[in-house]
Amino acid sequence: MKQSPADADWMAVAIALSQRGRPVSAPNPNVGCLIVNDGKIHGRGWTQAGGRPHAEAMALAAAGDAARGATVYASLEPCAHASPRGPCCTDALIGAGVARVVVAAQDPDPRTDGRGIARLRGAGIEVVTGVLPTEARAAMAPWWTRQTAARPYVTLKLATSLDGCIAMRDGSSRWVTGEHARAHGHLERARHQAILVGRGTLAVDDPKLDVRLPGLEARSPKRLLLTRGIAPPGWSAVGSPEAIDGIDSVLVEGGAGAASAFLAADRVDRLLLYRAPILIGGGKPALGDIGLTGLADAHGRWRLADSRLLGSDRLDVYERVREG
């Protein structure tokens, strides 16, 4: 018999599957699930649009009888609370006769929060916990952030020249970055529930903020305007970075005022920095005052999470380092 890959390898696949539910699984977490029997994958699942079916239900349906005696990899603890929208996953797993369940992250939802694991164990199923929990939480960062901190997960996008300008002094910004970087920006839009701009950007650019990628047009997110006033039709007004409610993920697209407001409020979790190999000189800076009082305070806040070339532009992705 061939040696099977380690649990962490299978779990990495389940976590990759979980990404498919972003952002459409809301209000449910985007979970990924893999059913393995005899070293082979028999079922793959991820939370579907609107939150149902759950990842485990989808994977069980695919596995059929092969679920009996199988090992199930779930990026989040299977739910233990009954819902009018469907049966809970722990019962479904017990009913299918699985032998072993490997869980990445325990569900912080107080309705489950360990009860799923306990119920599986009570049914005689071996449960292994804590396999790639950090990676699993990162893959569902928007849901996790809202669930545990009651605020949305915010990504700030900046597209600048090498000297940090987002436009020429006269406001010209077409184009700073190239087509590959702009397409990547559209993909990021499709992964967010909402996009936010400031009033200046709305007035100058009249941005559509839609997703212009073949097949993903329907993914165009909700449009938020940072303003103390009222928003035009098709837009929702947001009075401050702290005032966003009922949304897991927000992409802040500009301009400098909105970006600075979110940074000053420490409400940015992830930074997308697209940088074109051009120099502008004396152009519009990416940011205004963000409340920094000393250079020492600026350090240790951002960790490089990804870096890649997009055509001749570079994308650096930074994540906010938060304690605890």
Which residue's CB is nearer to its own copies, number 45 or number 283?
A: 283
The gap between the terminal CA atoms of the chain, to the nearest Å, is 43
| 204 vs 304, beta carbon nearer its own copies | 304
Give which of 277, 53, 106, 101 is closest to 180, Cα–Cα. 277
Q: Which is nearer to its own copies, 153 or 274 (CB)?
A: 274
Give yes or no for a contact between 85 and 51, defined as CB atoms under 8 angstroms apart: yes
Query: Which tokens is 180 given?
Result: 């590959």
Shortest separation between residue 184's beta carbon and its own copies, angstroms? 17
**Residue bearing tokens 């120099």:** 279
- Rounded least distance, CB 142 to its own copies, Å: 22
CB 161, min distance to its own copies, A: 7
CB nearer its own copies, residue 17 or residue 271: 271
In the complex, the residues that contact its own copies under the rule CB under 8 A are 158, 160-165, 168-169, 172-176, 260, 263-264, 271, 273, 276-282, 285-292, 294-295, 298-299, 301-304, 307, 309, 312, 314, 316, 318
Q: Which residues are the active-site residues?
A: 56
Q: Are strands 71-76 and 100-105 parallel, antiparallel or unpaired?
A: parallel
- Minimum distance, C-beta of residue 30 to its own copies, in the bound complex (Å): 28
Contact between 213 and 183 under an 8 Å Cβ cutoff? The reply is yes
In contact, 94 and 120? CB cutoff 8 Å: yes
Nearest of 73, 76, 77 to residue 37 by alpha carbon:
73
